[in-house]
Amino acid sequence: MNHANPRKIEHQHTDRGYIPVYTTDVVEQPWGSYSKTDHDVWDTLFRRQCKLLPGRACQAFLENVERFGLGDGGIPRFTDLNKLLARTTGWKLVAVEGLLPDDVFFNHLAHRRFPVSWWIRNPEKLDYLSEPDLFHDLFGHVPLLLNPVFADYMQAYGQGGTKAFGIGPEALMNLTRLYWYTVEFGLINTPEGMRTYGSGIVSSRGESIYCLDSPAPNRLGFNLERVMRTRYRIDTFQQTYFVIDSFEQLFEVTKANFTPIYARLKQQTDYAAAEVLIEDRVFTHGTHEGFVSDGDR
């Protein structure tokens, strides 16, 4: 379904906190309706992150930000970005009004379409938003879609998500944790040192600094089933980050049939977000300073 006038769908604030509100619509990016304030917010966030990220974000991310020309001034047009995506990895950006239901989101990824919220945050909310907006979706996620291996990983994730959705909620949670700890909050070990690639990190000033500089969180080597058993935080910076050695490693280890993995994990207990195991490959055993023990998902 398409709307002539795209709506801005945001979470509802209740006495229990923010409650997700879902939409299924794909719309045209209303580029002509962006205000000067909207463009200024994009430019402010873009300049701030691009000043901060060299030496923190992985080179593939930084190079693809340049390839897209995301800093040419104002909010980019999806139609322009889609031309480069189409001839590079075959992906396409589609504008959406807000958070999508899981099955709809997976279907988009499986067909190499990446949903991007068309609206951008207010100037008063530069540092935190309870749901993903245009800056998080576009600046955080889209540059790595020019990387062929990561682009294939994202499609495979969508295909796996459709399958997990049909298996049941526990399988879906296992797969959601994989997305959280890779696509959103992943770190990568490079010859130059540990770097970020997860969209929730590279689009956030605070987490870009915290994830590499703070002594508090754990930084652990990536292990598929370990990740799928590990709960996570949605209300704070992460208590644990998982570190891949390459995008090729990530793609290869997730090519397996997950059905028997889901069955095996169903019989096992989950790990707390801050937990460190004897068998973990530990880059950093965090001090856990400031951590709270409840609220893991």
Instruction: Give the chain's mean pLDDT.
Output: 93
pLDDT band with cut points at 50, 70 and 90 for residue 266: very high
| Across 267-276, average pLDDT | 96
Question: How many Cβ atoms are within 10 Å of 127's Cβ, its own excluded?
Answer: 11
| Across 64-86, average pLDDT | 96
pLDDT of residue 3: 52
**How far is residue 266 from each of residues 206, 228, 258, 277, 296, measured CA to CA in Å?**
35, 11, 12, 19, 18
Indicate the domain borders of the chain.
12-284
pLDDT band with cut points at 50, 70 and 90 for residue 17: low
Question: What token pair was written down for 216?
Answer: 């508090």
Which contacts (CB < 8 Å, 24+ apart) does range 9-16 have? 9/97, 9/98, 9/99, 10/98, 10/130, 10/131, 11/99, 11/130, 11/131
Residue 9 clears pLDDT 70, i.e. is over it = yes
Find the range with the poorest average confidence among 106-120, 183-197, 283-297: 283-297
The Cα 76–Cα 143 span in angstroms is: 13
CB-CB contact of 68 with 84 (8 Å) = yes
pTM for the structure as a whole = 0.95
User: Looking at per-residue confidence, does 13 or 213 come out higher?
Assistant: 213
The pLDDT tens digits of the residues spanning 211-229 come to 999 999 999 999 999 999 9
Residue 15 clears pLDDT 70, i.e. is over it = no
| Across 259-274, average pLDDT | 96
Residue 118 Rama label (left phi>0; alpha psi -120 to 50; beta): alpha
Residue 1 clears pLDDT 60, i.e. is over it = no
Residue 153 Rama label (left phi>0; alpha psi -120 to 50; beta): alpha
| Across 185-197, average pLDDT | 97
The Cα 220–Cα 277 span in angstroms is: 10
The pLDDT tens digits of the residues spanning 46-70 come to 999 999 999 999 999 999 999 999 9
Residue 18 clears pLDDT 80, i.e. is over it = no
Residue 161 clears pLDDT 90, i.e. is over it = yes
pLDDT band with cut points at 50, 70 and 90 for residue 32: very high
Residue 24 clears pLDDT 80, i.e. is over it = yes
pLDDT of residue 4: 55
Residue 167 clears pLDDT 70, i.e. is over it = yes
Dihedral sign of CA atoms 84, 90, 95, 99 in order: negative
pLDDT band with cut points at 50, 70 and 90 for residue 294: low
The Cα 150–Cα 147 span in angstroms is: 5
pLDDT band with cut points at 50, 70 and 90 for residue 237: very high
pLDDT of residue 126: 87
Where does 12-284 sit in CATH, by number?
A: 1.10.800.10
The pLDDT tens digits of the residues spanning 97-152 come to 988 999 999 999 999 999 999 999 999 988 877 788 999 999 999 999 999 999 99
